[in-house]
Structures are given as structure tokens and as C-alpha cells.
């Protein structure tokens, strides 16, 4: 039989009520210093640190009691520690994340391994939101603590999922090497390798204020300074993921900082592609891609996530994306027909459409914050959206503005209304400073999104329209009507590849801009001259 609970309670009383203490501990810095009383025998039994410290002759005494000064441990933290030492319990639920973080460093100093494990597990499981907001502070604090590997890996994983908020922020230059090196070692660091190289060079130069930003003025000594600074980081770059043009433009100018054996391997690789045995080389394997796509990289997704939250032009580098982008369609796999698009993408909620233009290589696309709608001929004499409500017969026959015929469900037309859709261009995808976004104009919100069984994804009346068989010549159009501006000068084009991604809020909530639609919001008819059929409503009619 074990009676640990009773033992814990009794020792707690010993801490709170005893008058025979023989140790005084002052915790915290002025003016926030608190005096604690304790017993030598208990401190020595519970903490290897106190076991050593209390056996030394240098311990100061005050009125017969041994006195310790612990200004590096806040009194709130030491209170938790002392209660743990006496009772074997630690209540962290009411503690703020910062207190628990300081508890980790103090527990490491006092060699309280059990408390370290509990505190870091509590942060990961109960304070994950706080960790995301303070991930750099946490890594700088526990980066040197061997006992906190689980917390370090958790925080590094948070960064790797969306690294641009850190790498493109002003905080990156002041990042400790103890944080940077573990990041570079990660296979799941979701950035282009040449971008990692660029930021690494930027970081190295920032550590040496005497180095000029203009390397054409550098001496051999300057390169040696940078080489020494980056000595532990250079071997961690995945050079096989850098194409030859980027290597020539961005890596080659810094060849003096590369180890000679690495430089030789890289020369062979870029000069003799396919004719080099790489089994025993010092070059690391590729990183994970981060997003399943043949067109875009994670940096593009990071930018688009900001656009979804209407943060273009604002300082958002320190904010991490709250969305997942799950690919539901790839044209080269599923085909380029309207039927396949609607089969895969209808009723999926908010979606992102990404297109690679065959004629120019441009990357364009659009964001639809509401579901694409599968259309079913489920009413006699008309069409109706599968996502739409049922309508009474009295609603089904009204005079048409396009002629004397009757049509059903005028209110549930092919257009859907939202203020939160947008179309965009990423150019060739390499320089995001040239990216363009065009939002739906408020006066035209009723024609923001167009769902038709004979068309793929369409935005506005002709702002971005994909007709059937998108990969055939001039089957897609892009002209400004309902959105703010044109996203490309190519008004007629075909598709080399296209992909559709379901946009999911990581918190399980609706995307912040997801718009609801009502039947009356969907009744705006298209102009007949913009359609590819005899009348604007003809493709939905049964005569």
C-alpha cells in the first residue's frame, strides 16, 4: 500500500507551518524580492544543486540560518519550485506562459529533472497558443537546455510550417546561432533553398557590422570573416535544390566562404549533371516541399494567406498563417474539363484556384470564399443549384428579362455574391514584389463568382473565365469588368496546368472572409455579349 498523497500533504504543512527552518532564500531582484524559509535536510534530499551548495563552507549565515541569494529566479517562480520540492506537486494551470518558461530555466539550474519534463509538457499541451506568439523568446530561452529538447523541437516545428514570418522580419538578423542551426538542420523547413541561402548570407553579414552590403568592395579578409561566422551553417544548405542560374547569381559570388571540398563537389554537380556519383558526398538530401503543387511554393501560399485576411500592404511579417491549403484537383491528373472541375471542387467551401498560363508561363488565379456549386437539372423546365434551397412552384415561373420564355429559380442564378473574392497574378513566381491582387468592386459584388456546368472556375463576368477544355487554345479569358484591375495583359490564353486548393482554417472555424449568399444576392444576370452561348440563360434552359 502506498500513501503518497498523505505524505505530500504533510510535507506541504511542514513548509507552511514549521518554525524550525534553517535556510533563508531571497528570490527575485529589487524591488520584487521575497524571503522564503526552508529546511536543509529537505532541500538536500530533493535537489542535487542544494545538495552540493549546502555542503560548502562559503554558505552565508544569518541568525544561525544558511542564507541564499537567488536574484536570477523570480519569487513567483521560486514559490512554485519550493512547493514542488516539499509536496511533489506543481499546479501550473493558473500560471502564465512566461512564468512557466522561467520555471524551466530555474529548474534546470536546480537540477529538478522531473519538474522540467512536466513544465515543458504543460507548455506544449496547454499553452500552444502562447508558444506560437512567443516562439522566438522560448527558443532563445531554452535553446541551450538539453533537458528541453521536446519543447525546442515543438517550437522549431511551428516555425518550419510557416517560416517567412520569421525569415523576412527584422528579428531574423538578431536570431541566436543556437536557434538558426537547428532550423537549418530541419528537413521540414518550408522555404525555397535559394531563399534560405539569401537569408543566411544576410544573417552572417548582420553579425559583422564592419562588412559592407556591397560585396564588390570586399577584401579577402572580409570573406574570411563571413566564412568564420557561417562555418557551422554552410554545410546545412541543400545545394541540390538550387538551380544553376541561382547558383551562378547568388552562391558563386560567395564561393570563397565555401569549404574547398564542398566547392569542388558543387562545381562537378552543376557542370556534370547526371554524371557524378553523389553517394558519399557531403551534400544533404532535399527538404520537404511543404505544399502539394506543381505550380506554387510555400512562399506564394504565405502571401495569398495574407491576402485572404486583407493584409496586403500592411506589416504582417510577424504573423503566421492560420490556413491549410489542401489540393483537391490537379489538371494534369484529373483533366481540364468543366465537368471534372465541378466533380472535384463543388461544395468544398472556400477554394484557391492557381493557373499556369501556357503561352507565357505566368501564374495567375483567384480566391473564392464560398463554395462552387454543382448544378442539377432537378426541376422540370429549369436548373437549380445543389447547394440552393428548394423553391415552391410559385417561385419557379417568372417573366424573363431575356425574352418571353419562363425560367425557374431566377434568384438562384449562376452568379454568387461576395465582397471577399479576389483574383491575382504572381508573375513568373520568382519575384513577389511584382505580385498583383485585384478585389471585387463593391458595386459589382453580385457578379463576384460564376458557377456554370459548362465552365470551370470563373470570377466576375469576364475578369477570369475558364471555358470548357481549358488547355485548348484561347479557351480562357481575362478582361477587367467587375474587379479592380486586370491581372494580365493576355486577354485570351490556354492553361498549361491548374490546381484547386481547399482553404481550411487551422482553428476549425470558417475563414474570416467566408461570405454567405442568399438567393436574392445571386440574381444578377450576365451580359449576353460576354457569354459563349446564344443567350445568357440559354445553357440552363429546357424548352
**Peptide bond preceding 80 in cis form (omega within 30 of 0):** no
Phi, psi values for residue 164, rounded to 5°: -65, -35
- CA nearest to 418, candidates 440, 436, 437, 438: 440
* Dist. CA 24–CA 191, nearest whole Å: 53
Q: What is the pLDDT of residue 269?
A: 80
Residue corresponding to grid cell 562588412: 211
pLDDT mean across residues, the chain = 81
Q: Could you count the other beta carbons within 10 Å of the beta carbon of residue 166?
A: 21
DSSP β-ladder status, 476-477 and 60-62: unpaired
* 256 and 316 in a common domain: no
* Dist. CA 252–CA 246, nearest whole Å: 9
Q: What is the pLDDT of residue 289?
A: 65
Q: Judge whether 119 lies within some domain.
A: no
More confident residue, 90 or 380: 90
Q: What is the pLDDT of residues 71-89, one digit of tens each?
A: 999 999 999 999 999 998 9
Q: Judge whether 436 lies within some domain.
A: yes
Element (H, E) at 497: strand 495-505
Helices (H), 163-214: 164-167, 177-185, 193-206
- CA nearest to 110, candidates 77, 149, 151: 77
Q: Which residues pair with 357 in a beta bridge?
A: 495
Q: Judge whether 330 lies within some domain.
A: yes
CA torsion 351-357-361-363 (nearest 10°) is -20
Q: What is the pLDDT of residue 124?
A: 92
* 329 and 446 in a common domain: yes
Q: What is the pLDDT of residue 329?
A: 94
The conformation of residue 372, written as its DSSP 8-state character, comes to B
At residue 46 the predicted structure's pLDDT band, cuts being 50, 70 and 90, is very high
Q: Judge whether 422 lies within some domain.
A: yes
Element (H, E) at 150: helix 149-161
* 445 and 351 in a common domain: yes
Q: What is the pLDDT of residues 477-504, one digit of tens each?
A: 999 999 999 999 989 999 999 999 999 9
More confident residue, 494 or 266: 494
Mean pLDDT within 370-377: 71
Q: What is the pLDDT of residue 523?
A: 39
Residue 492 CA: distances (Å) to CA of 231, 357, 370, 424, 429: 52, 10, 26, 16, 20
Q: What is the pLDDT of residues 215-241, one digit of tens each?
A: 999 999 999 999 999 999 999 999 888
Q: What is the pLDDT of residue 5?
A: 78
Q: Judge whether 261 lies within some domain.
A: yes
The domain containing residue 235 runs over which residues? 185-288
Would the pLDDT of 36 be above 90?
yes
Q: What is the pLDDT of residues 172-204, one digit of tens each?
A: 999 999 999 999 999 888 888 999 999 999 999
* Dist. CA 263–CA 259, nearest whole Å: 6
Would the pLDDT of 516 be above 50?
no
Q: What is the pLDDT of residue 339?
A: 92
Q: What is the pLDDT of residue 298?
A: 77
b/e burial code for range 419-432 (CB count within 10 A of at least 16 → b): ebbbbbbbbebeee
* Beta-carbon contacts of residue 58 (< 8 Å; ≥ 6 apart): none
* 269 and 310 in a common domain: no
Mean pLDDT within 254-261: 91
At residue 508 the predicted structure's pLDDT band, cuts being 50, 70 and 90, is low
Give the full edge-to-edge strand order of the sheet including 34-38. 34-38, 23-27, 65-70, 60-62
* Dist. CA 405–CA 523, nearest whole Å: 17
Q: Judge whether 514 lies within some domain.
A: no
* 303 and 284 in a common domain: no
Q: Judge whether 168 lies within some domain.
A: no
Q: Judge whether 439 lies within some domain.
A: yes
Q: Total domain count for the chain?
A: 2
Q: Which of 228, 263, 288 is the C-terminal boundary of a domain?
A: 288
Mean pLDDT within 82-111: 93
Q: Which of 269, 288, 307 is the C-terminal boundary of a domain?
A: 288
* 313 and 257 in a common domain: no
The end-to-end CA distance of the chain, in Å, is 86
* 455 and 319 in a common domain: yes
* 302 and 279 in a common domain: no
* Dist. CA 412–CA 21, nearest whole Å: 81
Q: What is the pLDDT of residues 301-360, one digit of tens each?
A: 888 998 999 887 544 344 556 788 999 999 999 999 999 999 999 999 999 999 999 999
Mean pLDDT within 282-300: 78
Q: Collapse the DSSP code of 181 into the 3-class scheme (helix H, G, I; strand E, B; otherwise coil) and give the result.
A: helix
Would the pLDDT of 253 be above 80?
yes
Q: What is the pLDDT of residues 384-442, one digit of tens each?
A: 333 333 333 333 333 333 333 333 223 346 889 999 999 999 999 878 888 999 999 99
* 462 and 318 in a common domain: yes
- CA nearest to 494, candidates 356, 363, 304: 356
At residue 371 the predicted structure's pLDDT band, cuts being 50, 70 and 90, is very high
Would the pLDDT of 522 be above 50?
no
* 303 and 199 in a common domain: no
Q: Which of 288, 316, 346 is the C-terminal boundary of a domain?
A: 288
Q: What angle do CA 479, 485, 487 make, to 5 degrees?
A: 65
* 305 and 217 in a common domain: no
* 277 and 418 in a common domain: no
Grid coordinates given for 423? 483574383
What percent of the chain stands above pLDDT 90?
53
Amino acid at each position: 500500500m502506498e500513501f503518497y498523497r498523505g505524505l505530500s500533504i504533510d510535507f506541504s504543512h511542514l513548509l507552511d507551518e514549521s518554525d524550525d527552518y534553517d535556510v533563508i532564500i531571497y528570490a527575485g531582484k529589487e524591488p520584487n524580492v521575497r524571503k522564503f524559509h526552508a529546511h536543509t535536510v529537505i532541500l538536500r534530499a530533493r535537489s542535487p544543486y542544494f545538495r552540493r551548495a549546502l555542503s560548502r563552507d562559503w554558505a552565508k549565515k544569518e541568525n544561525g540560518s544558511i542564507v541564499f541569494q537567488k536574484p536570477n529566479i523570480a519569487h513567483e517562480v521560486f514559490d512554485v519550485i519550493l512547493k514542488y520540492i516539499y509536496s511533489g506537486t506543481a499546479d501550473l494551470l493558473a500560471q502564465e506562459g512566461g512564468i512557466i518558461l522561467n520555471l524551466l530555466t530555474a529548474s534546470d539550474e536546480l537540477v529538478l529533472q522531473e519538474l522540467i519534463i512536466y513544465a515543458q509538457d504543460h507548455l506544449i499541451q496547454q499553452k500552444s497558443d502562447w508558444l506560437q506568439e512567443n516562439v522566438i523568446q522560448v527558443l532563445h530561452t531554452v535553446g541551450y537546455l538539453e533537458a528541453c529538447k521536446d519543447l525546442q523541437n515543438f517550437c522549431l516545428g511551428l516555425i518550419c510550417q510557416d517560416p517567412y514570418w520569421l525569415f523576412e522580419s527584422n528579428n531574423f538578423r538578431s536570431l541566436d546561432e543556437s536557434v538558426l542551426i537547428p532550423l537549418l538542420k530541419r528537413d521540414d523547413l518550408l522555404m525555397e533553398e535559394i531563399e534560405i541561402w539569401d537569408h543566411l548570407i544576410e544573417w552572417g553579414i548582420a553579425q559583422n557590422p564592419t562588412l559592407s552590403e556591397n560585396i564588390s568592395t570586399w577584401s579577402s579578409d572580409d570573406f574570411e570573416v563571413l566564412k568564420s561566422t557561417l562555418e557551422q551553417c554552410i554545410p546545412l544548405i541543400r545545394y541540390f535544390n538550387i538551380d544553376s542560374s541561382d547558383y551562378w547569381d547568388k552562391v558563386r559570388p560567395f564561393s570563397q566562404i565555401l569549404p574547398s571540398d564542398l566547392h569542388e563537389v558543387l562545381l562537378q554537380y552543376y557542370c556534370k549533371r547526371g554524371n557524378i556519383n553523389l553517394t558519399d558526398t557531403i551534400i544533404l538530401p532535399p527538404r520537404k516541399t511543404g505544399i502539394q503543387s506543381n505550380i506554387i511554393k510555400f512562399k506564394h501560399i504565405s502571401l495569398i494567406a495574407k491576402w485572404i485576411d486583407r493584409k496586403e500592404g500592411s506589416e504582417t511579417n510577424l504573423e503566421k498563417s492560420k490556413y491549410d491549403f489542401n489540393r483537391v484537383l490537379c489538371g494534369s491528373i484529373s483533366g481540364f474539363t468543366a465537368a471534372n472541375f465541378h466533380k472535384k471542387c463543388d461544395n468544398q467551401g472556400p477554394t484557391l484556384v492557381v493557373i499556369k498560363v501556357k503561352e507565357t508561363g505566368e501564374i495567375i488565379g483567384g480566391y473564392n470564399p464560398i463554395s462552387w456549386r454543382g448544378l442539377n437539372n432537378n426541376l422540370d423546365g429549369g436548373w437549380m443549384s445543389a447547394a440552393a434551397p428548394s423553391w415552391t412552384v410559385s417561385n419557379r415561373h417568372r417573366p424573363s428579362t431575356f425574352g418571353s420564355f419562363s425560367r425557374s429559380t431566377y434568384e438562384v442564378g449562376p452568379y454568387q455574391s461576395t465582397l471577399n473574392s479576389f483574383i491575382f497574378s504572381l508573375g513568373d513566381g520568382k519575384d513577389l514584389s511584382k505580385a498583383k491582387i485585384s478585389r471585387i468592386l463593391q458595386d459589382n459584388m453580385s457578379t463576384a463568382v460564376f458557377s456554370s456546368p459548362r465552365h470551370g472556375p470563373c470570377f466576375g463576368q469576364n475578369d477570369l473565365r475558364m471555358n470548357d477544355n481549358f488547355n485548348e487554345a484561347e479557351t480562357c479569358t481575362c478582361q477587367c469588368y467587375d474587379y479592380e484591375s486586370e491581372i494580365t495583359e493576355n486577354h485570351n490564353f490556354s492553361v498549361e496546368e491548374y490546381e484547386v486548393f481547399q482553404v481550411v482554417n487551422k482553428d476549425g472555424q470558417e475563414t474570416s472572409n467566408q461570405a454567405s449568399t442568399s438567393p436574392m444576392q445571386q440574381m444578377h444576370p450576365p451580359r449576353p455579349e460576354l457569354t459563349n452561348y446564344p443567350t445568357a440563360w440559354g445553357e440552363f434552359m429546357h424548352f
